[in-house]
Structure 1
Amino acid sequence: MPEGPEIRRAADKIGKALIGKTIEDGQWPFPTISDKAHLLLEQEVLDVTSKGKAMLIRLANGWSMYSHNQLYGRWTVNLNTTEPKSNRSLRAEFITDRHAVRLWSATDIVLIRTEEEGAHPFLAKLGPDVLDDDVTHDLLTKRLESSTCKRKKAATLMLDQGAFAGLGNYLRSEILHSAGVHPDDRPCDLSSPTVSAWGRAIKDITVRAYQQGGVTVPKSVADASKARGEPRRRWRHAVFCRDERPCLTCGDLVLRKRYAGRRLDFCPSCQPAQRISG
Structure 2
Amino acid sequence: MPEGHSVHRIARQFDRNFVGRPVVASSPQGRFVEGAAVIDGRTATEVRAVGKQMFLAFDDDIWLRVHLGMYGAWDFAGEILVDPTIASANGRMGQTNQRGTALDDAPILDAAGENSLASIGAPRRTRVHVRMSEQTTGLAEDEQWPPAVVGQVRLRLMTDITCADLRGPTACALQTPEEMAASVAKLGPDPLVDDVAVGEERFTATVRRKPTPIGLLLMDQAVVSGIGNVYRAEVLFRARQNPHTPGRDVPEETVRALWRDWVKLLSIGVETGQMMTMDDLAPDDYRRAMASRDDRHWVYHRAGLPCRVCGTAIVVEEMASRKLYWCPRCQA
List aligned pairs for 1:1-278, cutoff 5 A.
1-23=1-23, 25-29=24-28, 33-37=32-36, 39-79=38-78, 81-84=144-147, 87-120=150-183, 123-136=184-197, 139-140=199-200, 142-146=202-206, 149-213=209-273, 214-218=275-279, 220=281, 223-224=284-285, 232-272=292-332
CA 1:191 to 1:104, structure 2 compared with 1: closer, same or farther past 3 Å?
closer
- Higher RCO, Cα 8 Å, sep 6+: 2
**Is contact 1:4–1:166 with CA below 8 Å preserved after alignment?**
yes
Contact 2:210 2:248 (C-alpha < 8 Å) held by counterparts:
yes
2: distance between equivalents of 1:109 and 1:19? Answer: 18
* Kept after mapping to 2: 8 A contact 1:8/1:50: yes
How big is the shift at 1:33? 4.0
SS in 1 for 2:48: strand
For 1:188, what is the secondary structure of its paired residue? Answer: helix
Aligned residue for 1:146, secondary structure, equals: helix
Output the TM-score relative to the length of structure 1. Answer: 0.83
1:161-218 per-position Cα deviation (integer Å, ceiling 9, x unaligned): 1111111100100111111211111233233332322222232223322222222223
Instruction: Quote the sequence identity (%).
Output: 27
CA contact (8 A) 2:190 2:226 kept: yes
> Contact 1:144–1:150 at 8 Å: present in 2 too?
no
| TM-score, normalised via structure 2 length | 0.71
Query: Cα distance 1:173–1:36, how it changes in 2: closer, same or farther (>3 A)?
Result: closer
1:231 shift after superposition: 7.3
CA 1:88–1:72: 2 relative to 1, 3 Å: farther
Equivalent pair of 2:208/2:248 in contact (CA under 8 Å)? no
- Residue ranges of structure 1 left out of the alignment (5+ in a row): 273-278
Q: Is the 8 A contact 1:73 1:107 kept in 2?
A: yes
How many equivalent residue pairs? 267
In structure 2, what is the Cα distance between the partners aligned to 1:167 and 1:222? 27
Matched residue of 1:210: which SS?
A: helix
User: What is the distance in 1 between the residues matched to 2:281 and 2:231?
Assistant: 19
What's the CA shift for 1:69?
Answer: 1.5
Structure 2 gap segments, 5+ residues each: 80-143
2:207, 2:217 within 8 Å by CA — same for their partners in 1?
no
* 1:177/1:271 contact within 8 Å kept: yes
Structure 1 range deviating more: 31-40 or 197-206: 31-40
Q: In 2, distance between residues paired with 1:85 and 1:29?
A: 11
Distance 2:287 2:262 in 1: 25
Give the CA deviation at 1:157. Answer: 0.6
Q: Is the 8 A contact 1:74 1:105 kept in 2?
A: yes
